[in-house]
Structure 1
Amino acid sequence: MNNKPIIIGIAGGSGSGKTFFLNSFLHHFKNDEVTLVSQDDYYIPAGEMTQEENKLYNFDLPSTIDHEQFSTDIKKLLKGEAVYKKEYNFNNPLAVVKILEINPAPIIIVEGLFILHFQDIASQLDYKIFIEAEESVALDRRIKRDGMERGYPEDDVRYKWHAHVMPSYKEFLLPYKGVCNQVILNNDNTPNHIISITEQIAIDLKEKFCKTSS
């Protein structure tokens, strides 16, 4: 890799539709054109917890992330080195833990709640995207996701939302909205709008990378 990769930061609160945005965005690239580094894979293991302990434990704080390793792995990718790490299993003892192989690529996507709060990471981002949704829409998505994928009761989801999720969003992400290159409002649950946006961003990035590489 003779040229410095372009680093795209994608930040969004819970229920903003960030996962769908990412999947749609990645779809516009070949495997060797882009790589993804997700903050979720850098949670510091909290150990097995009861349902009540899980409800009370605040995962929505920067201190729950292995910030140092997160930053180190991004620097490795910038130097053209592959990264190997365990996939985070969200404290699910039944989950099969996979070893992730994250390979360097011309475009590196870094995503997560705190990527703009961690200044050493934010300073490396060439382009910052902020994804948001109205709170009622985001909460509804969170209730559906946590119920279907993790089996959490709705009351527990609502408790964590008001006690952990929103306070953290307002303190550690929302203040950086104004420094982002693009803000995307994602209230619509139909995919066409997001697909068209990600396609245009992908086209723009490929043009920029080709010019940089030529």
Structure 2
Amino acid sequence: MSKHDHILKWDKPFIIGIAGGSGSGKTFFLKCFLEHFTNEEVCLVSQDDYYFPVADSMTAEEIKLYNFDVPETIDREHFYSDITKLINKETIFKKEYTFNNPYAVPKILEIRPAPILMVEGLFIFHFTEIARLLDLRIFIEADEHVALKRRLKRDLEERGYSHDDVMYRWENHVVPAYNEYLLPYKNVCEQVIVNNTHVADDIISLTEEISKELRGKVL
């Protein structure tokens, strides 16, 4: 019997929902959090991997104006179905989302069930069928000027967008979506994390504290 077979003796995974606006530092938080666990103890499902593909049906100019920050852009049924499969201890296979990069070859992601299941994404509290599955909700936020600075750095340096493109999306897509689909759920979250600092030690110590508490409850 493998180590993974042994770990499947748990009854139901403890499900953590993590959501934060663009530039909140959610990716760094997740990276730090996951380092406290082995692959057999935790698995992660990301909403980003469930966008309906548009690269084949739109021009580059159309994609620039396309609003990815609304719930209708997500294959909600597939997202929920895969979470349900993991709860039922089934392994899922999912094509990686490549952010409509025509030159990227998507990998096939294999996600195995684990006693801690992490679900992350902008709309996970808004999607009621997913929200009701969550045992712990973590809301990550940053001041708007901090979040915008991080978004600009990422999109200009890593994705090659122009400054005007980034600002258009920020003002017309990102901020309205955050205010409508995420911020209203802040008060129902058990953990609210303000991440304005660039000091890694703060996030590392916080994820260590949460992981220790989880280890005592779940593992």
Offset at residue 18 of structure 1 (A): 0.2
TM-score, scaled to structure 1: 0.96
Offset at residue 54 of structure 1 (A): 2.3
Per-residue CA deviation, residues 56-114 of structure 1 (Å, 9 max, x unaligned), is: 10000000000000000000000000000100010000011100000000000000000
Letter in 2 for 1:138: A
| 1:148 maps to 2:157 | yes
Once residues 5 and 124 of structure 1 are traced to their aligned partners in structure 2, the CA distance between those partners, rounded to angstroms, is: 10
Alignment of 1:100-111 (within 5 A): 100-111=109-120
Letter in 1 for 2:29: F
Equivalent position of 1:21 in the other structure = 29
SS of the equivalent of 1:54 reads helix
Once residues 159 and 180 of structure 2 are traced to their aligned partners in structure 1, the CA distance between those partners, rounded to angstroms, is: 26
Query: Which of 1, 12, 17 is matched with 1:4 structurally?
Result: 12
Equivalent position of 1:178 in the other structure = 187
| 1:56 maps to 2:60 | no
| 1:43 maps to 2:48 | no
SS of the equivalent of 1:143 reads helix
Alignment of 1:27-176 (within 5 A): 27-48=35-56, 49-176=58-185
Two-structure CA RMSD over aligned residues (Å): 0.9
The more displaced of 53-62 and 168-177 is 53-62
2:55·2:102 contact (CA, 8 Å) conserved in 1?
Answer: no
Once residues 52 and 60 of structure 2 are traced to their aligned partners in structure 1, the CA distance between those partners, rounded to angstroms, is: 19
Once residues 112 and 163 of structure 2 are traced to their aligned partners in structure 1, the CA distance between those partners, rounded to angstroms, is: 38
The more displaced of 52-61 and 154-163 is 52-61
Once residues 179 and 80 of structure 1 are traced to their aligned partners in structure 2, the CA distance between those partners, rounded to angstroms, is: 28
Would the alpha carbon gap of residues 158 and 58 (structure 1) be closer, same or farther in structure 2, given more than 3 Å must change? Answer: same
SS of the equivalent of 1:32 reads coil
Per-residue CA deviation, residues 160-180 of structure 1 (Å, 9 max, x unaligned), is: 000000000000000000000
Unpaired stretches in structure 1, ≥5 consecutive residues:
none
Once residues 135 and 94 of structure 1 are traced to their aligned partners in structure 2, the CA distance between those partners, rounded to angstroms, is: 32
Aligned pair count reads 210
Offset at residue 139 of structure 1 (A): 0.5
The more displaced of 201-210 and 127-136 is 201-210
Offset at residue 51 of structure 1 (A): 4.2
Offset at residue 184 of structure 1 (A): 0.3
TM-score, scaled to structure 2: 0.94
Once residues 62 and 143 of structure 2 are traced to their aligned partners in structure 1, the CA distance between those partners, rounded to angstroms, is: 29
Offset at residue 155 of structure 1 (A): 1.0
Unpaired stretches in structure 2, ≥5 consecutive residues:
1-7
Offset at residue 52 of structure 1 (A): 2.8
